[in-house]
Amino acid sequence: MGKPYRPKDHFFQRAKQRGFRARSAFKLEELVGRFGLLRPGSRVLDLGAAPGGFLQVIARAVGPSGLAVGVDLVALRPFTEGWVRTGVVDVLADDAQAQVEALAPGPYDAVLSDLAPKTTGVRGTDEARSVRLAERALELARALGKPGSSFVTKLFMGGDFEAFRAQLRETYREVKVVRPEATRSASVEIYLVGLGLGALTGRQ
């Protein structure tokens, strides 16, 4: 058993102090620091963006010369930065790619996903739904990412983990598995990072 959930723990307090909308911002900050995922001028797509913690980090990193696009099932509170665009998109919908490109056409330098299913408490069901969202995020990253781009997705650890990691290894030059420091101790979530889209698939 993990430690009990503490809604106002250290990272919650730090997020408030720094003006972040969610503690998840610290997870992305760690990944950016380790793997150099975001640069000034980059075009970045954030899937499952609400309430906007990832998107805040992205917007600050890419700056006015870049573009930060965030989508979710619910509308995000508006951003003041002119280079941030948001929209309501169901990534599992057949026309999800078209909806994203209506906001801002690709290609993107990075596609980041913090998508998570509504949990049922049934481990196998929750893991399967998590994998489906991660697979959909990967489909969108393949379609919208430029050659050499990066990918990040959240995933609940489970029986299909190795099969999903194998898909990433077929698509990206390097694949890393990370459990960011800001992850709650009781959580089963991890993040997979893909670096170098198309390096192993012959894409130019």
CATH code, 82: 3.40.50.150
The separation between CA 197 and the C-alpha centre of its own chain, rounded to angstroms, equals 16
Residue 202, in any domain of the structure: no
Its domain, for residue 45, covers 10-197
Catalogue the active-site residues: 154
Judge contact between 131 and 155, C-beta under 8 A. Answer: yes
CA atoms in the 13 A half-sphere facing the CB of 156: 22
Residue 4, in any domain of the structure: no
pLDDT at position 10: 63
Residue 69, in any domain of the structure: yes
Cα 115 to Cα 14, 17, 72, 80, distances in angstroms: 23, 25, 9, 24
**Per-residue tens of pLDDT for the chain, all 204 residues:** 344 444 556 655 665 666 666 778 889 999 999 999 999 999 999 999 999 999 999 999 999 999 999 999 999 999 999 999 999 999 999 999 999 999 999 999 999 999 999 888 888 898 999 999 999 999 999 999 999 999 999 999 887 899 999 999 999 999 999 998 877 777 789 999 999 999 654 433
pLDDT at position 145: 98
What pTM, to 2 d.p., does this model score? 0.87
pLDDT at position 17: 62
State the Cα–Cα distance between residues 20 and 1, nearest whole angstrom.
29
pLDDT at position 20: 64
Biggest CA–CA distance in the chain, Å, is 48
Domains contained in the chain, number: 1
Residue 190, in any domain of the structure: yes
Residue 1, in any domain of the structure: no
